[in-house]
Structures are given as structure tokens and as C-alpha cells.
């Protein structure tokens, strides 16, 4: 067993069993469904099918990040056990939670001067962030110490690629991220926008692609273009989806046929309550290791 805690936030969107099996601790964000507050607890309180069904039927959602006091309480539990902490946060390009975590860590370093507390901005989200955590667990289990692992994560986190598309824009319209006019036109033309996450951890629209069949082909072409080793990519690949399992399975099958050296089958996860509150149903995201984000030739 390592002498430090490997920790992240719930929007890393892995299954609870996955976190438990890999001994990765997590702290839960929060969301509201029709004004009632819930923890973003990996679908334990409200199942993902029930959550997305409620959204599809018109339920309103709101999200909130982990605050300073919650981080103080969460970190303190491990420090009292004499453990050091390596906490990797949801992208600072999407949430200010990393700042709360960093402030809590600084306060606790004064209280526990003999303990190490690292807070790292993953610049990632959903199961791409989760795939970073899974790799961190591999390195920890292979004997890498906390200092070396923290340095490795800072050096390599931008090699995690996030590509995703949405087939239902009504929740983007509802949230004001897409205008009603643009959303109407996209619906009439059967447009599925393709987006990616940039080197600052922001979500960036890339292409407007007509039909689901075409966007599934294009997202895998982007993996072929940017994955480490191209067609010889031999790392893991994760997908996350929001109530569109068949679309996710279609992309997974295409990935597996395109990359014969893939490390195992593509792992499909649910997009969690926090991120799903913004995407709604109908989003598929693809994650893989590749060239450093910001060096792509778009």
C-alpha cells in the first residue's frame, strides 16, 4: 500500500466500483433537480436513467462546486490518518473548485507541516479525467512516489484528448449556450456539433456535422489523427455517454476495429449528474492518450 491518498472529484465519471477497485478517493460535487439538492455521487442517489428521463421531461437542473469548508473536512480525514494527499481536480477551465481545493491545502499545510498535499488541475473532465486517474493509479501501484507522480501528472495531463458530440441541442439552448435560432436550424438540418477540450481546459466547438452516422465516423478519424502512435495506438480508450448507449456502442465498435492494438475493450461510462446537468441526454465523449493538446494542427 502507498503512503499517500490518490484523490479526485466526482465528475471524473467512472463507476463507483472502478474507483473502489483502484483505491481512488473522490469528493462529490452537487446538483439540483427541480430545486432539490443532491450529491453528484455517481448515480447512487438518483440513477442515471431516472436523472436523464427527468431532464427529458422538463426538469430543471443547477450545479454547484465543492466549497472551501468541504475540502478542509475531506482532506483533514486523510491527514489525521498520517497520509499525504495527491488531489487531482476537475478542469479549472470549467469550475473554480480547484481554487477552493488549493486554498484548503494551503491552510492545512500550516496545520500539518509534516504532510504533503498536492493539488493538480487535471485540465480534463468526465471519463477523460477518469482515464488520467486510472493511469495515476497504475503508476502509484507500480511504486511511484507522491512527488514523482505529481510531476508526471503535470507533465502529461495535456496528452489526454477529449472529443465529444451532441445529438440533442435542446439542453444547450435551455442553458443559453446555443441560441434558439441556431438550435432550430441545427435540428432541421440534423446537425451534430463536434467539440473538443483545449489546452486551457475549455470546451471548444470544432465542426458542425450532418447526421449521427457521419459524426461517429469523424470523431474516430480525429482519434486516428491525434492518438499516440496513430493506428498503432496501444493505450486505453474510454467513452462516456448520456442516455444514448447505442450511439456510444457504435463509436466503441468503430474504435476497436480501427485500432487493433488497443489496450483492452473500450470502456463505456455514464456522463455523471454534474456534467450531464449541462449536456442533457444525447452526448457521446471519446477519450484517449495522444499528442499534447495545443500542438494539434487544426
Is residue 15 predicted with pLDDT exceeding 50? yes
pLDDT of residue 185: 40
Q: What is the pTM of this model?
A: 0.94
Mean local confidence (pLDDT), 189-204: 89
Cell of 278: 449541462
144-189 pLDDT tens trace: 999 999 999 999 999 999 999 998 766 665 555 454 444 434 453 4
More confident residue, 44 or 190: 44
Report strand pairing: 36-39 vs 30-33.
Answer: antiparallel
Rg of the Cα atoms in the chain: 19
pLDDT at 236 over 70: yes
Q: What pLDDT band is residue 282 in, cutting at 50, 70 and 90?
A: very high
Task: Look at residue 290 and tell me whether its pLDDT is greater than 60.
Answer: yes
Q: How large a percentage of the chain has pLDDT more than 70?
A: 92
> Coil, strand or helix: which one is 60?
coil
For residue 252, give the nearest of 206, 213, 216 by alpha carbon: 216
Of the candidates 51, 47, 103, 96, the one whose C-alpha atom is nearest the C-alpha of residue 75 is 103
Angle, vertex CA 127, rays to CA 170 and CA 51, nearest 5: 45
Res 1 pLDDT > 70: no
User: Which is higher by pLDDT, 176 or 283?
Assistant: 283
Question: What band does 134 get if pLDDT is binned at 50, 70 and 90?
Answer: very high
- Could you tell me the three cell numbers for 118? 498536492
| Residue 186: predicted pLDDT | 45
What SS3 class is residue 136?
helix
CA-to-CA separations, 125 to 7, 8, 56, 108, 177, in angstroms, rounded: 14, 11, 23, 26, 18
What is the chain's mean pLDDT, rounded? 93
Report residue 121: phi and psi, to 5°: -80, 115
Q: Per-residue pLDDT tens for 242-261?
A: 999 999 999 999 999 999 99
CA-CA-CA-CA torsion sign (200, 28, 137, 238): negative
- Exposed, middle or buried: residue 182 (CB in 10 Å: 0-12, 13-18, 19+)? middle
Kindly state the average pLDDT of the residues 186-209.
84
Half-sphere exposure of 162 (CA within 13 A, CB side): 30
Q: pLDDT by residue (tens digit) across 80-129?
A: 999 999 999 999 999 999 999 999 999 999 999 999 999 999 999 999 99
HSE (CB half, 13 Å, CA atoms) of 92?
12
- 131 has a pLDDT exceeding 70: yes
**Model pLDDT, residue 214:** 96
Average pLDDT over residues 263-282: 96
The mean-pLDDT minimum among 84-88, 186-190, 214-218, 230-234 falls in 186-190
Cα angle, residue 142 at apex, residues 127 and 73 outer, rounded to 5°? 60
Residue 298 has pLDDT above 90, yes or no: no
Grid coordinates representing 249? Answer: 456502442
C-alpha closest to that of 238 among 260, 271, 208, 216: 271
Amino acid at each position: 500500500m502507498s503512503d499517500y491518498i490518490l484523490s479526485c472529484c466526482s465528475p471524473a465519471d467512472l463507476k463507483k466500483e472502478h474507483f473502489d477497485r483502484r483505491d481512488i478517493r473522490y469528493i462529490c460535487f452537487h446538483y439540483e433537480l427541480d430545486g432539490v439538492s443532491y450529491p453528484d455521487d455517481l448515480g447512487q442517489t438518483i440513477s442515471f436513467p431516472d436523472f436523464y428521463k427527468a431532464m427529458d421531461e422538463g426538469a430543471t437542473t443547477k450545479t454547484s462546486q465543492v466549497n472551501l469548508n468541504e475540502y478542509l473536512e475531506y482532506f483533514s480525514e486523510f491527514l489525521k490518518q498520517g497520509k499525504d494527499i495527491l488531489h487531482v481536480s476537475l478542469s479549472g477551465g470549467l469550475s473554480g473548485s480547484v481554487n477552493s481545493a488549493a486554498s484548503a491545502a494551503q491552510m492545512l499545510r500550516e496545520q500539518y507541516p509534516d504532510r504533503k498535499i498536492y493539488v493538480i488541475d487535471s485540465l480534463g473532465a468526465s471519463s477523460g479525467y477518469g482515464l488520467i486517474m486510472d493511469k495515476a493509479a497504475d503508476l502509484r501501484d507500480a511504486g511511484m512516489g507522491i512527488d514523482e507522480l505529481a510531476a508526471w501528472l503535470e507533465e502529461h495531463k495535456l496528452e489526454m484528448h477529449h472529443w465529444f458530440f451532441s445529438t440533442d441541442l435542446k439542453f444547450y439552448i435551455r442553458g443559453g449556450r446555443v441560441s434558439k435560432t441556431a438550435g432550430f436550424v441545427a435540428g432541421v438540418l440534423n446537425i451534430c456539433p463536434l467539440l473538443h477540450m483545449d489546452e486551457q481546459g475549455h470546451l471548444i466547438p470544432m465542426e458542425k456535422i450532418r447526421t449521427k452516422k457521419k459524426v461517429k465516423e469523424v470523431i474516430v478519424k480525429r482519434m486516428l489523427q491525434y492518438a499516440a502512435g496513430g493506428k498503432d495506438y496501444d493505450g486505453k480508450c474510454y467513452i462516456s455517454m448520456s442516455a444514448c448507449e447505442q450511439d456510444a456502442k457504435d463509436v466503441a465498435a468503430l474504435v476497436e476495429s480501427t485500432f487493433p492494438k488497443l489496450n483492452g475493450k473500450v470502456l463505456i461510462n455514464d456522463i455523471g449528474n454534474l456534467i450531464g446537468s449541462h449536456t442533457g441526454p444525447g452526448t457521446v465523449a471519446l477519450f484517449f492518450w495522444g499528442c499534447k493538446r495545443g500542438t494539434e494542427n487544426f
